[in-house]
Amino acid sequence: MLIALLFTGLTVVAGFLLSSEPGYSYENFKFHQWTAVSVFWLASVWYWIDQKENFYTLKLLPVTSSLLIVITGHLGASITHGEDFLLEPLNSPAKQVQVSLEEAEAFNHIIKPILEQKCISCHKASKQKGELRLDEAKYIMAGGKTGLSIDLKNPKESLLLKRIHLPLEDDEHMPPKGKVQLNDQEKQLLETWILASSPMDKKVVDFNTKEQFFTLAKNWVESRQTIHYDFEAAKPKIIKSLNDEYRLIEPISPQSPALAVRFFGKNQFNSDRLQELEKIGEKIVYLNLSHLDLNDEDLKVIGGFKNLENLNLNFTGLDGTSLDHLANLPNLQKLSISGNPLKAETLNRLKKIHSLQVLYIWNTKISDSEIDHFLSLNQKITIERGYKDDAGPIALNAPIIEFDNPIFKQSKKISLKHPIGSVRIHYTLDGTKPDSLHSPIYQEPILLHESSTIQARAFAPGWIGSPINQAVVFKSGIIPDEIELSYDPDEKYKGKGAQTLFDLEKGDEDFASGKWLGFQKQPLEAILEFTQVKTINNIALSLLTDEGSHIFPPSQIEIAQKNPDGNWEIIYTEKPEQPKENLGKQMLLKTLGLEKAMQTEAVKIRVIPLAALPSWHPSKGSKAWVFIDEILIN
């Protein structure tokens, strides 16, 4: 009891200290403050009379204290996380406001919802961090303590734009580390809206259709005009068991439980494969069976997919009599039956599908006049007489590149795999892009003896070639006996110091993982010494780039060797090419092409960060970072 009382007191003191920081208004936290003090007072009373077993200690004080703690917690959470933070899970979830593209306003329907989800908890009436509010248009334009959040005269200098693009570890990054972060789409929307002079009342359709903000906002609006289904998603293991190279099952959109199913390969299809879908039948809303041989039993199975909305039966050999089974589908809206030997009586069968809205029909035995007559009697149905078939080839998945630790000393075995066993995998090791004509075909594991970049791509007849998958492996042959850094890395990215560069532990894409050294204000200057003369043929640097986080290739790389007289001689200089756009996170192997082998007892490697970000970058002029995790000497 005493320990609980002491911690309650410490919490109250911490609250008083926090309230003195800028950004908080007394009017907004006074009730929370005094309920917290009341909790401490009540806990003190409870402690002093705890030895007496009476009504107060057994019933009244515990109940009163619990109630007061809940109220205090709710008031505190409302200040830091927003109104009704604790009660929100108990309320019915509010439906997301959906508007048409024609009605959508740039600020109210695109930008404001992003700010409300990711920014308002720190910048609202009750908590104005940096004296900045982002909950209303007038406050956004007014800016905060450090300046204008949006600079209409020079949008690229807007503080809001700069802060969202700072590295996550930067103290001024928005939102701060620990909060839910903006995704790439949200960053792009904010950026393009600010660069378009931040219109508050302008509708999306009033933007030039060639402007990037229009394209992004259009996709944003359309992605939120999704249908909400009341059935649960299928278990991933079931989807995985049904997916193969001739049957593709996937959600119609991210997070949606509704499924789209496509079959490929006429010779690989049979009725059993369609019946296997019955375990996920209620979740199928799109089914493509074009160019397959179907029979009456197949249509009977399809008639059990109650939530089916779009069905493609093009070129399936159906004569129309089996279409009666589709009358059992209450949600079928689109039907494609082109390329089948259908007669006019087939149209009468389609009348039984009361939900049908669009019919694709072409290359049948039904004449145009018969279609016109049917259309005059069923005006709610739109008929498309041009051939529509989306069953063309699709792209293969990228191959899988398998190996263990990416750093090796002698040799490294690389295996390439693909879930479709019949594909050909082409690969390269020389930095060129693999193609199906000139690149070698993978037949057995590849044995590498040097640092290499492996690029692989899959090809198969009737399919579009896959995207390229890439991996980098590193050979580390010579380890220096002594390693010295002339300048310390940044305090936030210091890893294990100089030993990080030769610990044979490859960093991942998280530059704050402790496996990377980060340099910004000073260059990396590593002095590597050997107890005896070494013959060095090549040196490679393992680097990370992420333009959105201000991490760029170095502006210059220098290598110097120590001569017998003790002086340093620069033997290699390179200025790496800089990106012209945001390429995302990439791990690079920068091999330094020495003209000839050098024999030396010491090497100095100097890697200089880019002094100013390029003009295309939202934070142009700011200093860039260099991140390195390994130096490889052979």
Predicted confidence (pLDDT) per residue in 365-411, tens digit: 888 889 888 888 888 888 887 644 454 567 788 999 998 878 888 88
Angle at Cα 592 formed by Cα 413 and Cα 567, nearest 5°? 130
Whether the per-residue pLDDT at 50 is higher than 80: the answer is no
Q: Residue 46 belongs to what H/E stretch?
A: helix 26-48
| C-alpha dist (Å) from residue 106 to 96, 114, 338, 609 | 16, 11, 42, 38
Whether the per-residue pLDDT at 74 is higher than 80: the answer is no
165: CB partners within 8 A, 6+ apart: 187, 191, 548, 549, 550, 617, 618, 619
Number of H helices and E strands in the chain, helices first, is 14, 23
Mean pLDDT of 252-276: 87
Predicted confidence (pLDDT) per residue in 121-164, tens digit: 787 776 678 778 888 888 888 888 888 888 888 888 888 888 89
Q: Place 509 in a pLDDT band, splitting at 50, 70 and 90.
A: confident
**pTM reported for the whole predicted model:** 0.45
Whether the per-residue pLDDT at 19 is higher than 60: the answer is no
- With CA atoms as reference, report the closest residue to 119 among 53, 56, 182, 166: 182
Round to whole Å and give the CA distance between 109 and 15. Answer: 36
CA atoms within 13 A on the CB side of 452: 19
pLDDT at 131: 78
Instruction: Identify the DSSP state of 491.
Output: G
Whether the per-residue pLDDT at 38 is higher than 80: the answer is no
